């Protein structure tokens, strides 16, 4: 009986000890951004229309010719009554479109001459100024703000995984 108890105790205490793999990670990152300048322009075209009843077209009107750097222009039409004293209706409309413009260029990240058309959306670019970010040897994030149109984002991720 003593042998049985002794063997049982040895088996109980001889069980292997628990072990686990532990992984510890530290990830640090900094993102610095400066907004870019942008301009989006949509040119509006010229439009000419005429309609009527009880009138006669005497001189044809219409759009002028397209010349680079200038607007189209138009010549109005001339009309007369078909029957003197009779009722008539008449409508003539003209919309002057945008003149053609030179191509837009970018110089040193700046658009010196922004287009100015019928529909224009312009966004000024950011200025880096003092924008900066560093991660020290001790893992400390140091962010310095910039001027308008900039952002600085710092992130530290700590993770512990046990298997």
Cα torsion 144, 145, 150, 153: sign: positive
Mean pLDDT of all residues in the chain? 80
> CA 138 to CA 133: how far, in whole Å?
15
Query: What integer is the mean pLDDT of 76-96?
Result: 87
3 pLDDT tier (thresholds 50, 70, 90): low
* All structural domains of the chain with their residue ranges: 42-103
DSSP letter assigned to residue 140: -
DSSP state of 127: -
Q: pLDDT at position 32, please? A: 95
- Mean pLDDT in residue range 58-75: 76
Sorting pLDDT into bands at 50, 70 and 90, what band is 33?
very high
Q: Which two tokens stand for residue 24?
A: 């510890």
Q: Any idea of the CA torsion for 117, 119, 123, 124, to the nearest 10 degrees?
A: 30
Mean pLDDT of 59-68: 77
Residues 6+ apart with CB under 8 A from 155: 27, 28, 29, 30, 31, 141
Give the predicted TM-score (pTM) of the model.
0.47
pLDDT of the residue at 141: 92
Residue 37 has pLDDT above 60, yes or no: yes
Predicted confidence at residue 61, as pLDDT, reads 82
């Amino acid at each position: 009986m003593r042998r049985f108890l002794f063997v049982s105790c040895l088996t109980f205490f001889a069980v292997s000890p628990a072990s686990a793999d532990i992984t510890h990670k530290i990830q640090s990152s900094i993102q610095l951004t400066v907004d870019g300048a942008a301009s989006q322009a949509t040119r509006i075209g010229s439009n000419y229309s005429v309609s009527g009843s009880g009138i006669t077209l005497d001189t044809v009107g219409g759009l002028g010719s397209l010349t680079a750097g200038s607007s189209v222009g138009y010549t109005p039409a001339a009309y007369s009554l078909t029957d003197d004293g009779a009722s008539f209706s008449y409508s003539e409309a003209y919309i002057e479109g945008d003149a053609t413009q030179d191509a837009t260029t970018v110089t040193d990240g700046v658009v010196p001459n922004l287009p100015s058309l019928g529909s224009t959306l312009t966004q000024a670019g950011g200025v880096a100024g003092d924008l900066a970010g560093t991660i020290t040897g001790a893992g400390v994030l140091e962010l310095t703000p910039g001027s308008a149109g900039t952002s600085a984002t710092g992130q530290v991720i700590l993770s512990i995984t046990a298997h």
